[in-house]
Each structure stands twice: as C-alpha cells, then as structure tokens.
Amino acid sequence: MTSFAHEHVAQSDPMQQGPVLPELDYELLRRYDTAGPRYTSYPTARELTDSFGEAHYRHHAELSRARSAGAPLSLYVHVPFCESPCFYCGCNRLITRDRAAGDRYIANLSREAALLAPLFDEHREVQQLHLGGGTPNFLRADQVPVLIENLGQRFLLTNSTARDFSIELDPRFLTTGFIAMLAELGFNRASLGVQDFDPQVQRAVNRIQSIEQTLEVIAECREHGFRSVNVDLLYGLPRQTVTGFRRTLRTVVEARPDRLAVYGYAHLPQLFKAQRQIEAAELPDARTRIALLKLAIEELGAAGYRYIGLDHFALPSDELTLAQARGDLQRNFMGYTTHAGSDLLGLGISAISHIGDSFSQNHRDLTKWEAALDAERLPIWRGLAAGFDDVVRADVIQQIMCRGEVDMHDIERRRAIAFADYFAPELGKLAALAADGLVTMDAERIRATSRGRLLLRLIAMCFDRYLAASSRIVASGTLQAAPFSRVI
C-alpha cells in the first residue's frame, strides 16, 4: 500500500512567492482531525440565539441606513425545493415535484422583499445576488423572471458589468432555454453540483447525472457570456475510488471551470436523515479519503488551478485568485467573495443576513416563515449583535481564512489593541501548531505554512472565544469534513 506519510504535493509558483498548493501531510492531517467551523462568519451561525428578533434587525438596519448611504448591497435568496433527494445532502431542502410550490414561494419572497427594502437606503445598488438552495432551477423558466422582477421592484439591481449575479444549478433538471433566460436577466455566474461521475458512486448516493448533460451546461453558460462557472465535487462518498475520482477530476478539468470546490463528505446520519440511506460500510476509510484529497490537489495543481483556501480552487485569471493576490479576498455566508464589505440580506427559509455588526437567520421551517409573512413580520428566527471582542476576532479570523496570515500591526492599528497582550492565551495555543510546522510567528505576522494551509480552520479556531468557552463541536474537520455545504 502506498504510504502518504509526509508526502509533499506543494508546487512552486514562478509568478508568486510561496506555494500554489497546500502541502499534504498524512500524519498531521490524522493528528489534527478535529471538528471545526468553516468560518463563513465569526461568530458562527451556531452562536445565534432567539433573544435576537425583528426589533433588533430593524435597529441594525437603521444603523446601516445611517452609516452606509450609497454602499452596495448583497442579496441571498434561498430556494429550498429539490425534485429528488441526494443521500449525502446536508442542506436545508424540501423534496417535491409540485411546481406550484414555487409560485407560492415566489409570492412570499416578494412579500419578504417588500418588508425588507424600506429598511435600507433605496439608492443602494445590489451588486451581488445569489440564488442558492435546494435547487434554484426547480423553479420553471417562467417563474425565475417573476422572482427577479419582484426583487427589482424593491431593490436597485445593478446593470453594471461588475455585478455578480449567480445561481446554483442542478444539470439533471435544467430545461431548454433556462440558461438563455438567466443571461437575459443578468446572471453571469453559475455553480454546478457534480460530486462524482463514477456510476457506482452516483447509484450509491441517488444522484444519476451524466457527463454529457453536465458538460453541456458548462458550454451553454459560456455561450451565454457567463463570467464564471464553478463545479462542486465531493470526496469520501460511498464506493468512491481513486481511479474513478481521477476520471471525474480529469473530465471536469478538461471543461476548464473557473472555480472548483472539492468538499469532504461527512457522514452524520444522526443529523441528516437522507444520509441514513448510505451504507457506512461502503464509505472509503481515512487513508483512502486522504488519497482522494491528495489526488484532487495534484490533479488541479497540474491543470493550473490555484488553491484559494479550505476546499476551493480557482484558475489564475479568476477574480478570487486575483483578489487573494491583492490581499482583498473576503469571506461571507456565500463563501469566498470579493463583496463581503456589503450588507448581506438573506431572503427565504433559513437564509442568513449580515447587517453591520449583526447576524440573523430566517426561520428554517416553511410554515413558520410563511406565518411571519402573513402577519407582516420579518421572519427572523435568531440572531446576534457582535460586540467589540467579536469584531476584533472576526478580523483576525478573516485574515487567516482569506490570506493565510495575520498582520498583527494592521489589527493593532485598526482595532486599537496591543495584539500580544490581547491575544496572549491564543498565541500560546498557536505555539503548539508552530512546533508542528503549521504556522510561523514573528513580531509582525502569524503565517500558515504550506503544511498549515489545509488546516486554516484549526489556526482560526485558536482565536474562537466561543469554542474555547464551550469546547463544542460545530462541524467537522479535514478527514471527517464538514457536512456537505455549498461554495456560495
């Protein structure tokens, strides 16, 4: 059997200092197989509580109105419906074939937009719009324009070519003319779920999706001028093999998607009912999981992709790669982004908003969400107002997740703290990671090494006050990775 211990798959980049790809160290990955958040926010969504409600949301919207006149807005719209359950799924979705459910949902989204929009300055342009799910293309080609028209009546959807209007697509259910319709509405980014083309794996996870239909969707997005196409893959699925996954990677890479996310499947049947359909005995063991991850890193590196962080890779020309090189890559609930400075308004069930220093989440339950709208109330389920300490730590964690380093002087200047005093216990925790070669520290910077780049979450966790207080497991780590979650 091949040994992966201390095998290095990092590659040098002649254009940039430092490695393009993270270095995979089997023993370290095993040792640090700790659960950890994905830090699309800090504090994470797990810290939201129902003591934060509609009045708090309105208060933070009011503050935002006062200080963010003219600043752009981001909208996230959750479309929860799917026709068929994928057994690995950990998303908040509703399985139905009843397209009329979409009509009713769109009408309710319109009511939610009508409640939200007056809280914000009407001149704020929506530069980032994302339809996520579930399966947004569960909606028919005549329903999506209605949704966008309704949003456009309430918010100033920009026409600018710099806009990011994106949608998650399931190639299995895409109808003729759907992508042309999206392009007509101004969509210019798409994210496609693929996971693995191996028929054995597809049968085991109840997601039969041909190579042809997937490649056609990528080609069609290109034909219609989409600026960026992302493909999601999953490793660690039942019956998955290195040989089969290599074929999948090579097939996908040949289509040159601008971005790729290679998530690790976490088997948590106690949390996600659909996963109970998966035979645990058919899951690859830890060694094979790492072999699959290693393969993905090697194949994507050989094909010219850059490692962005966590599970994300992008072509050198992609905006995420360019933003990372400039040092202004950010992270929000939609993942890595170039728009995180904007207030983010979430619409639809379970959607999360980030307004100023507050985070809030809508009801996850369709009935509760509808009932709140019937009563003309914002459908807020829970939330949190971040305090000074949260904001400082969010800043540090953002730097780790997006740049792989912390500029301590920058944090000191902007937050008026003495870094070494404020974070004395955290620096102590980092010393253990430094001893293992995951980070280096000097008077100015904490920097993830190429070995540490696959374990950015672990470095960030040292600065998470809530984890330190509770030692709770939030989501899982590299080997038993986070429940399948989407790129954006």
Instruction: Give the nearest distance from C-beta 453 to ligand SF4 in angstroms.
Output: 27
Residue 86 in contact with ligand SF4, rule: CB under 6 A: yes
Residue 437 in contact with ligand SF4, rule: CB under 6 A: no
**Per-position x/- string for 175-214, each x denoting binding to ligand SF4 as judged by CB under 6 A, each - no binding:** ------------------x---------------------
Instruction: Give the nearest distance from C-beta 79 to ligand SF4 in angstroms.
Output: 10
Residue 170 in contact with ligand SF4, rule: CB under 6 A: yes
Tell me the DSSP string of 352-374: EEEETTEEEEE-SSHHHHHHHHH
Q: Which is nearer to ligand SF4, 260 or 462 (CB)?
A: 260
Instruction: Give the nearest distance from C-beta 143 to ligand SF4 in angstroms.
Output: 17
Q: Considering only 80-88, 114-122, 239-247, 384-392, which stretch makes contact with ligand SF4 by CB under 6 A?
A: 80-88
- Supply 322's token pair: 């360019």
Instruction: Give the nearest distance from C-beta 96 to ligand SF4 in angstroms.
Output: 11
- Scan for tokens 């393009």, then name that residue: 20
Please list, residue by residue across 367-379, b when 16 or more beta carbons sit within 10 angstroms of its beta carbon and e when fewer do: eebbebbeeeebb
Instruction: Give the nearest distance from C-beta 87 to ligand SF4 in angstroms.
Output: 9
Instruction: Give the nearest distance from C-beta 357 to ligand SF4 in angstroms.
Output: 30
Residue 82 in contact with ligand SF4, rule: CB under 6 A: yes
CB 251 within 8 A of CB 260: no
Q: Give me the residues paired with residue 130 across strands.
A: 76, 166
The four Cα atoms 268, 209, 192, 103 give a dihedral, to 10 degrees, of -90
Instruction: Give the nearest distance from C-beta 83 to ligand SF4 in angstroms.
Output: 8
The four Cα atoms 95, 100, 104, 105 give a dihedral, to 10 degrees, of 40
309: left (phi over 0), alpha (psi -120 to 50) or beta: left
Question: Within a 10 A sphere around the Cβ of 156, how many other Cβ atoms?
Answer: 17
| CA 287 to each of CA 25, 262, 291, 453: distance values in angstroms, whole numbers, following the listed order | 12, 17, 6, 20
Work out which of 38, 60, 78, 93 binds ligand SF4, going by CB under 6 A.
93
Q: Which is nearer to ligand SF4, 196 or 426 (CB)?
A: 196
Q: How many residues bind ligand SF4 (CB under 6 A)?
A: 11
* Nearest to 251, CA basis, from 190, 192, 323: 192
* Nearest to 260, CA basis, from 268, 269, 248: 248
Work out which of 21, 28, 89, 427 binds ligand SF4, going by CB under 6 A.
89
Tell me the DSSP string of 43-95: S-GGG-BTTS-HHHHHHHHHHHHHH-TT--EEEEEEE-EESS--TT--S--EE
Q: Considering only 34-42, 113-121, 133-141, 300-308, which stretch makes contact with ligand SF4 by CB under 6 A?
A: 133-141
Work out which of 135, 230, 338, 360 binds ligand SF4, going by CB under 6 A.
135
Work out which of 22, 36, 43, 133 binds ligand SF4, going by CB under 6 A.
133
Q: Give me the residues paired with residue 49 across strands.
A: 383
Q: Considering only 127-135, 234-242, 340-348, 377-385, which stretch makes contact with ligand SF4 by CB under 6 A?
A: 127-135
Instruction: Give the nearest distance from C-beta 47 to ligand SF4 in angstroms.
Output: 25
Taking the C-alpha atoms of residue 163 and residue 160, their distance in angstroms, rounded to an integer, is: 6
User: Interface residues with ligand SF4 (CB under 6 A)?
Assistant: 82, 85-86, 89, 91, 93, 133-135, 170, 193
